[in-house]
Structure 1
């Protein structure tokens, strides 16, 4: 394989510069501003700021309501990741077997990926509405069994299902691609040796899917912490009794509604550090079980 060499360095710089500018403008500059605001008392309407040091971080780490939002976020992340990955894997296995109508299922499973999170939230808000949606029929049979407006774990289950549904299409694409990259000769040889469908899945397909599992795991956990605002905002507004007040939604409430920009910036920094730590743990300990060949 021949490498490309640039006789003039300015050509390489011109190709790299646009990407570097985008990263700087949309990542490094906002991050540096958030860190600066978290260390100062930022005025809501401008007018300068005073140095605060670690005051906002100490205040947050001693606040029981903030720790509640951390616990709620961890529950949401675990629920959406397990449910989204599990259902996507099952659907990908069915499509990979090329059962009747698998082409239509394959196309249909990809479409939900194009739906925005607020639209998903509105749809599931109607579906799980205890008086007007699908769950209203359940409440007619078992009176009051479902009420996410007053019951916290009902509301959490509702946003977990909506968040998992949002990720299923994305996970499905990668699981199906991973399954179809497995040489068919391995599957056929195992079938000729008398291995059943479940045995082939356990001994051949799942071990060879570990790189895909690892990639999707990292993406899903990161997404659950950073891209859940639209679902919570349209479905529960963080309620009832802060049962669904995820970290990313609390940042919005404190910063935009409470106009406490410094506290919201400190929460953003903590959220960023938490996501980095979770990603580090996954690469440090889980990747050991991944086999790339």
Structure 2
């Protein structure tokens, strides 16, 4: 039978999983298109003209170009880079997700519609591996965000205190952020080395504990979490210090006069005023935990750790597409991961954004 190269949802041709995923993808596409049309209609009604749809505000722009080609010339380098390295790969990923494509056979492909998506949830070992990577991703991301931001706020508060050499300490705290995740993985691999690592020397020789930091399925995820928190802490501390510098001193003095102790002033005054920064850091740290921990995992626990305990969804995409040469299934996993991040970001904006306090 010659493939038609488009999806059919006939009962004799597709399983229930295929039909469900097909309608889900159609619904997501329709929601995306309707959202864009709704945004355009809202801006149209608000501005009253076509030019006001893409304007930043209600005030007309003052700057003009003598030539209509000059804006295109200035935008061309950025647009070309975005087209080549962002938009085209994204569209090609969607195309690959509907194909049976192998990395070791680039010239041989077959159209399979939504089969690559249904293979992620159908019963079997592949399904268990994907669900395991999903659980690992959610659990490790929650730990990185919650523990990382709490520890960063504490360190930023300590670094903000008027002590001698505070500027030097603040600079040293920011340095780890300049290190790539792969280098962070190598550093912690040396520190947690079972024979010559300083951490194992401390726990084994001084405390009498033998801990398998990278080969124990229960401990290996926490090793990745510790390394990831250390890597992103400089970024978080930098923003929290900037936020603490903008906390009005008169509010703290008023709270002190009203009888509030240090903890009450910090909880009821400082933390609400830091909510815009905290909200921003939640979004950026969630994205980091989903994507940028790949290098740390690959160096600290090659292959996804013992019993796949550190395999995240991003690492699963690498294993499926590069190591197993299944490009179609890897593209489907990447799209699912992308949709998860978008959904989490929208939920964070809807929930946390309402509780954010801007201004004093």
Q: TM-score range by the shorter chain?
A: over 0.9
1:25-104 residue pairs with structure 2 within 5 A? 25-44=84-103, 45-62=105-122, 63-104=127-168
DSSP 3-state at the match of 1:46 = strand
DSSP 3-state at the match of 1:241 = helix
CA radius of gyration, larger in: 2
- Contact 1:211-1:291 at 8 Å conserved across structures: yes
1:226-265 residue pairs with structure 2 within 5 A? 226-237=291-302, 238-265=304-331
Query: Pairwise CA RMSD of aligned residues?
Result: 1.9
The residue aligned with 2:74 is 15
The residue aligned with 2:63 is 5
Aligned match of 1:222 in 280, 287, 305? 287
- Contact 2:200-2:210 at 8 Å conserved across structures: no
Inter-partner Cα distance in structure 2 for 1:40 and 1:2: 48
DSSP 3-state at the match of 2:110 = strand
TM-score (norm. length: structure 2): 0.77
Deviation at 1:6, TM superposition (A): 1.3
Aligned match of 1:185 in 237, 250, 253? 250
Deviation at 1:46, TM superposition (A): 1.6
The residue aligned with 1:290 is 356
- Contact 1:129-1:136 at 8 Å conserved across structures: no
Deviation at 1:21, TM superposition (A): 2.2
DSSP 3-state at the match of 1:111 = helix
Aligned match of 2:204 in 139, 147, 158? 139
Deviation at 1:174, TM superposition (A): 0.8
TM-score (norm. length: structure 1): 0.93
DSSP 3-state at the match of 2:146 = helix
Aligned residues: 293
Deviation at 1:139, TM superposition (A): 2.6
DSSP 3-state at the match of 1:292 = coil
- Contact 2:283-2:348 at 8 Å conserved across structures: yes
Inter-partner Cα distance in structure 1 for 2:129 and 2:308: 8
Deviation at 1:116, TM superposition (A): 1.2
**Relative contact order: is structure 1 or structure 2 higher (C-alpha 8 Å, sep ≥ 6)?**
1
Inter-partner Cα distance in structure 2 for 1:171 and 1:54: 40
Aligned match of 1:269 in 320, 330, 335? 335
Rate the CA distance shift 1:172–1:32 in 2: closer, same or farther, 3 A.
same
Inter-partner Cα distance in structure 2 for 1:224 and 1:11: 40
Deviation at 1:178, TM superposition (A): 1.1
Query: Can you give the 5+ residue segments of structure 2 that lack an aligned partner in the other structure?
Result: 1-58
Inter-partner Cα distance in structure 1 for 2:92 and 2:307: 32
The residue aligned with 1:155 is 220
Aligned match of 1:105 in 165, 169, 181? 169
Deviation at 1:194, TM superposition (A): 4.7
Query: Can you give the 5+ residue segments of structure 1 that lack an aligned partner in the other structure?
Result: none
The residue aligned with 2:183 is 119
DSSP 3-state at the match of 1:250 = helix
Inter-partner Cα distance in structure 2 for 1:177 and 1:271: 32
Inter-partner Cα distance in structure 2 for 1:181 and 1:144: 45
Inter-partner Cα distance in structure 2 for 1:241 and 1:12: 55
Inter-partner Cα distance in structure 2 for 1:117 and 1:215: 21
Deviation at 1:103, TM superposition (A): 1.5
Aligned match of 2:235 in 153, 170, 186? 170
The residue aligned with 1:206 is 271
Rate the CA distance shift 1:262–1:123 in 2: closer, same or farther, 3 A.
same
